[in-house]
Chain A
């Protein structure tokens, strides 16, 4: 198991750059929440953001699909590019961006509709399916990818809110990948789940790496070590260290990273 991860990591570092952030600053009114963050996120890789609470890792994640736009007092400076295109360019419609950059939230938040409608909603509003058969196919494919198909195929019309916590979170993942995104952002996707559900979701994240660039925010360092190839450590709004996961956890360069990983700060 461990060997496989090493092999994967070696391969993944050669991937193309998918997201590039340059001198990103985020302000909540007068509060400087993110300071000078430069990061390059590779394609077909799982990148983990770790750090103590309030260090800005979720804020930075939400910059990547402009979810911070919904907060009036939030201001973002600096450049964030996806495939070389500035996502904060005035010509960019955040709606199109979010179809390309899917998001899974901390708390499972399925729509209070049927399982089918939950998954079909994204493709419907983006016009990804021309007819019912295609839509059915997208729904099935997404649910299969999210490892929920076997559990849900007989109850597609049942409300999504009736599933267990772990199933709900996988439903949310299915919903996010139904719009065929290129990047998948996950904001502490397992923090509300029990260990078994967490293991299922982690396994799923590892599989999703085949097709997407996955960015995951997590509080659990073990989780970061298990699922990611690259890890970024945030502290007080700064990106302290960004490197291969192996390196961060075995031989960190910065003393703050070492303190955090060994449990002395955080």
Chain B
């Protein structure tokens, strides 16, 4: 039968229709994924961007000697007997003075006005005074934290209606805050302290920061990198290039693949049993966290390293052996440099995975509330042995708290975590591009 090329026959039409359908499914899947990503990002960014800004009150604080230093000779042991409870009225008076200076009148009690200042502010001022006793007797300008509710008002979280039902603030306080802001005394500005301060208690969301969590995560990443990269790369090189191919190596290979799929919480149980119960390392220390994450990251690194080594063409190995290089020389001079981009990418992806891991850290006690920079975070003592927390755990912690201000903090922490992950992935891509060689 003679057919024309100009008319598609039934078979061709069917094939083309199938292809068009398949493309449409793929396109739809991508649209759904993009929408999901968009919703995620909008919600996280919408909730969290405000955590990078914070409301401060600029106060000229008179530091009276008779209250802060009864000895009169700047004796620190006497001065430190004055607690934050002693500093709070001083700050309140400073705020009242500021109100008077701006001509703002209010029916609020002095106590309620004092509540507009964060409880953390007294501690901040006290620390500054103890660090520099000469300040006593002078009038010093401080940028002190406003309370969480006032801060929330400027970020839109607290409204006049919600304040009317709130025991911790009142519409009048918000009106004063607005007046102070109009006068330039109160200002909402970028908040570096979010990345510096440690966590704060339930009552002081405005003072909670990621400092200890970032440091803890950093230390854990150092432990993971220092342990997992050499061990993982060395074992992959051995398995891929040197080990005889027999039943044992097959078994090891299968098990490594399985380990990569083991739920991370299992590694937490393992870490709890080995590192804390048996080896008696400190609970919730970055050392233990890093060791657990190392165990978790190793299979990822080994698998990607082996894949990278496998992808180096055998002709390169032949060439090296052919000029009389030993096995080890051929691996280290030729194969490894060619596999390096793949190894680096795998390692960074493994690290990124470890950075975002929460479950195993909960089991080894890193969920603890860490209020202070651990003493050991000074270079003189061991860096890795003290209780710490980590970024994802900090998110977990904050989402459990009742004050809505912590929702904002948690979202801010998530954004920070995502930025770190993005940076790491960008570095991975850059390194791959930079070191990729053609052959």
Chain B residues, CB < 8 A from A109: 313, 315-316, 318-319
A178: chain B residues within 8 A (beta carbon): 323
Q: Which of B160-168, B170-178, B325-333 lines the interface with chain A?
A: B325-333
Find out whether the CB atom of B318 lies under 8 angstroms from the CB atom of A67: yes
Pairs A–B under 8 Å by Cβ, sample size 11: A70-B318, A98-B323, A102-B323, A105-B315, A105-B318, A105-B319, A105-B322, A111-B334, A112-B437, A121-B333, A172-B319
Q: Scan A79-121; emit 1 where CB is below 8 A from any B CB, else 0.
A: 0000000000000000111110011110101111000000001
The answer to whether B438 touches A179, judged by C-beta atoms less than 8 angstroms apart, is no
Interface flag for A65 (CB, 8 Å): yes
A252 on the B face (CB < 8 A):
no
A68 to B315, CA, bound (A): 14
Residue of B nearest to A162 (CB): B438
Contacts A111-B319, A125-B329, A172-B319 given; indicate if A72 touches B244 (C-beta within 8 A). yes
Q: Are A70 and B322 in contact (CB under 8 A)?
A: no
Instruction: Determine the distance from Cα of A68 to Cα of B334 in the docked complex, in whole angstroms.
Output: 20
Are the CB atoms of B323 and A112 closer together than 8 Å?
A: no
A176 lies within 8 A of chain B by Cβ: yes
Across the two chains, which residue of chain B brings its CB closest to A123? B323
Question: Which residues, 25 to 80 on A, are CB-close (under 8 Å) to B?
Answer: 65, 67, 70, 72
The residue in chain A whose Cβ has the minimal distance to the Cβ of B244 is A72
Q: How many residues of A contact B (CB 8 A)?
A: 28
B178: min CB distance to chain A, Å: 67
Partner of B438, one of A99, A111, A112: A112
A122 interface contact, C-beta 8 A: yes
For A121, the closest partner residue in chain B by CB is B323
CB proximity of A239 to chain B, nearest CB, Å: 24
Report how far A126 CA is from B324 CA in the complex, Å: 8
Whether B245 contacts A72 by the Cβ 8 Å rule is: yes
List residues 134-148 of chain B with CB under 8 A from any CB of chain A.
none
CA distance in complex: A107, B333 (Å): 21
Query: B116 on the interface (CB 8 Å rule)?
Result: no
A230 at the interface (CB under 8 A from B): no
Q: How many whole Å from A175's CB to the nearest CB in chain B?
A: 6
- Cβ of B113 under 8 Å from chain A: no
Question: Shortest distance in angstroms between A94's beta carbon and chain B's nearest beta carbon?
Answer: 8
Q: Which residue of B lies closest to A97 (CB)?
A: B324
Interface presence of B432 (CB below 8 A): no
Q: Which residues of B are in contact with A by a Cβ distance under 8 Å?
A: 244-245, 313, 315-326, 329, 333-334, 338, 437-439
Q: How far is the CB of B245 from chain A (nearest CB, A)?
A: 6
Whether the Cβ atoms of B326 and A95 lie closer than 8 Å is yes
> Using Cβ atoms and an 8 Å threshold, which residues of chain A touch B313?
109
* Docked-complex contact A99 and B324, CB < 8 angstroms: yes
Cβ of A161 under 8 Å from chain B: yes
List of B residues within 8 angstroms of A179 by Cβ: 323-324
Q: Is the CB of A98 within 8 A of B324?
A: yes
B432 to chain A, nearest CB (A): 15
CA distance in complex: A31, B244 (Å): 20
Q: Looking across the interface, which residue of chain B has its beta carbon closest to that of A109? A: B315
> A242 to nearest B CB, angstroms?
25
B316:A176 contact, CB within 8 angstroms: no
Partner of A102, one of B320, B322, B437: B322
B81 CB to nearest A CB, Å: 72
With A72-B245, A161-B438, A161-B439 known as contacts, the answer to whether A111 contacts B322 (CB < 8 A) is no
Beyond A110-B319, A112-B438, list 10 extra A-B contacts (CB 8 Å).
A95-B326, A103-B318, A105-B319, A109-B313, A112-B338, A112-B437, A125-B324, A125-B325, A175-B319, A176-B322
A175 to B438 alpha-carbon distance, docked (Å): 19
Q: How near does chain B come to A59, taking the closest CB pair, in angstroms?
A: 14
Give the residues in chain B near A172, CB-CB below 8 Å.
Answer: 319
Give chain A residues whose Cβ lies under 8 Å from the Cβ of B320: 111, 121
Residues of A within 8 A of B321 (CB): 67, 70, 98
In the complex the two chains form, is B315's CB within 8 Å of A99's CB? no
Q: Residues of B contacting A65 with CB < 8 Å?
A: 322
A residues near B338, Cβ cutoff 8 Å? 112
Task: Check B245–A95 contact: CB distance below 8 A.
Answer: no
Whether the pair A112, B439 counts as a contact (CB closer than 8 A) is: yes
Closest 5 pairs between A and B when the two form their complex, measured CB to CB: A99-B324, A109-B315, A122-B323, A103-B322, A98-B324
Q: In the complex the two chains form, what is the Cα distance from A17 to B325 in whole Å?
A: 27
CB atoms of A67 and B319 under 8 A apart: no
Assembled-state Cα–Cα distance A161/B315 (Å): 13
